[in-house]
Amino acid sequence: MTIQWFPGHMAKARRQVTEKLKLVDIIFELVDARLPLSSRNPMIDEIINQKPRLVILNKEDMADPQMTKEWIRYFKEQGVEAVSVNSQAGNGLDKMVKAAEGILQEKFDRMRARGMKPRAMRAMIVGIPNVGKSTLINRIAKKNIAKTGNMPGVTKAQQWIKTAKNLELLDTPGILWPKFEDPETGYKLALTGAIKDSILNLQDVAIWGLRYLEDKYSSRLEERYGFKELPDDMAHVFHQIGERRGAISTGGEVDYDKVTDIIIRDVRSGQFGRLTFDITPEKA
Ligand code: GDP
């Protein structure tokens, strides 16, 4: 991931999405199911204006299933349809198409009533980097049209990917920026790999992660690192993890950088199980 967001980039990203809005019936707003709020673009409502929208919680395989349910309920309460999918495995895509059909039913009924020829729904995927936009497009297309990875600035002629499922998708997603309003959001984005590792101090990110695990998933923390509750002295925690995992230098000193890497890798690779880092506002 190489994106650094500056005002110029944001304006351009916004313009690109705005230009394509008129081409589509519906926006697929892709978010990371582990961060249904923090991985949303802060200006999404303003950018997509009144366009119908389906929120898609991707990477459901990595998120806490109970929390995913709560988030979907939360979005529905806000009047926004939401579904969860696993783009990598292709799970949930039928549900996604059905939800879009439901949202657009009235519009398409009206079109039919006016004698217009039936056509497929047209959609565009938007989301911040790394939420899985390319993966989802590839899954829907069932062939490698969209390149996985972020390629800001690479433009090409717009193409529609036609699917068997009554859906046409713009082949290039709208890439939006994440919000960095508060440190917590930054830590969450860093911990899940949504932003470059060089943006924040990774040791702070790891410590934030440990504290979050202590708060919400303490038995998993205990199982893996031996702490149910974390002492105030984080050096002690790092030392114990370092010893358990052999991150000790020859002089017997704990290697803090290695321990930091271990913690972050453990979170990202699912060693603590399926985790969600955003709590629905009513539960926070
Ligand atoms: P984009 O920047 O939004 O286009 O994101 P990509 O499609 O490049 O995906 C970013 C990373 O997330 C890649 O390593 C994908 O393999 C991974 N990924 C995408 N969707 C899923 C998913 O549903 N589950 C899991 N576990 N990983 C996913």
Domain contains 181: no
pLDDT at 181: 77
Q: Say how many C-beta atoms besides its own lie within 10 A of residue 227's C-beta.
A: 17
151 and 238 in a single domain? The answer is no
45 and 149 in a single domain? The answer is yes
20 and 123 in a single domain? The answer is yes
59 and 132 in a single domain? The answer is yes
For ligand 1, atom 24, which residue shows the shortest CA distance? 59
**Please, are residues 64 and 275 in contact by the beta-carbon 8 Å criterion?**
yes
37 and 156 in a single domain? The answer is yes
211 and 131 in a single domain? The answer is no
Domain contains 176: no
Pocket perturbation via mutation, ligand 1, pick of 32, 61, 96, 130 by most ligand atoms within 8 A of CB: 130
Q: Tell me the CA–centroid distance for residue 247 and ligand 1, in Å.
A: 29
Structurally, the chain folds into a number of domains equal to 2
Question: Which atom of ligand 1 is nearest the CA belonging to 86?
Answer: 23
Cα distances (Å, whole numbers) of residue 258 to 52, 166, 276: 46, 49, 24
Pocket perturbation via mutation, ligand 1, pick of 133, 140, 148 by most ligand atoms within 8 A of CB: 148
Q: Tell me the CA–centroid distance for residue 149 and ligand 1, in Å.
A: 8
Domain contains 278: no
Domain contains 177: no
DSSP assignment letter at 62: G
104 and 65 in a single domain? The answer is yes
Band (pLDDT 50/70/90 cuts) for residue 284 is confident
Domain contains 282: no
For ligand 1, atom 20, which residue shows the shortest CA distance? 132
240 and 136 in a single domain? The answer is no
Q: Tell me the CA–centroid distance for residue 182 and ligand 1, in Å.
A: 25
Range of the domain at 208: 201-269
35 and 130 in a single domain? The answer is yes
Q: What is the phi/psi pair of residue 44, to 5°? A: -55, -40
Query: What is the DSSP code string of 6-32?
Result: -HHHHHHHHHHHHHHHTT-SEEEEEEE
Q: What is the ipTM of this complex?
A: 0.99
Question: Which atom of ligand 1 is nearest the CA belonging to 87?
Answer: 23
Query: Which of residues 122, 148, 170 is at a domain's end?
Result: 170
Q: Which residues participate in the annotated binding site for GTP? A: 58-61, 86-87, 130-135, 174
Rounded average pLDDT over 122-139: 95
pTM: 0.92
Pocket perturbation via mutation, ligand 1, pick of 17, 57, 58, 88 by most ligand atoms within 8 A of CB: 88
pLDDT, one tens digit per residue, over 89-124 is 999 999 999 999 999 999 999 999 999 998 999 999
In whole angstroms, what separates CA 101 from the centre of its chain?
23
Whether 3 shows a pLDDT value over 80: the answer reads no
Query: Which of residues 147, 170, 193 is at a domain's end?
Result: 170
Domain contains 175: no
| Ligand 1 binding pocket, CB closer than 6 Å | 58-59, 61-62, 86-88, 127, 129-135, 148-150
pLDDT, one tens digit per residue, over 11-23 is 999 999 999 999 9
Question: Which atom of ligand 1 is nearest the CA belonging to 62?
Answer: 26
Q: Which residues participate in the annotated binding site? A: 58-61, 86-87, 130-135, 174
Q: 117: domain CATH number?
A: 3.40.50.300
Domain contains 186: no
143 and 224 in a single domain? The answer is no
Query: Which of residues 151, 170, 189 is at a domain's end?
Result: 170
Short-list 240, 228, 244, 130, CA closest to 176: 130
pLDDT, one tens digit per residue, over 220-264 is 999 999 998 999 999 999 999 999 999 988 888 899 999 999 999
Bridge pairing between strands 174-175 and 167-170: unpaired
pLDDT at 4: 61
85 and 208 in a single domain? The answer is no
Domain contains 182: no
For the ranges 50-64, 129-143, 189-203, the maximum mean pLDDT occurs at 50-64
Q: 222: domain CATH number?
A: 1.10.1580.10
140 and 242 in a single domain? The answer is no
For the ranges 176-180, 217-221, 253-257, the maximum mean pLDDT occurs at 217-221
**Please, are residues 275 and 210 in contact by the beta-carbon 8 Å criterion?**
no
Whether 158 shows a pLDDT value over 80: the answer reads no
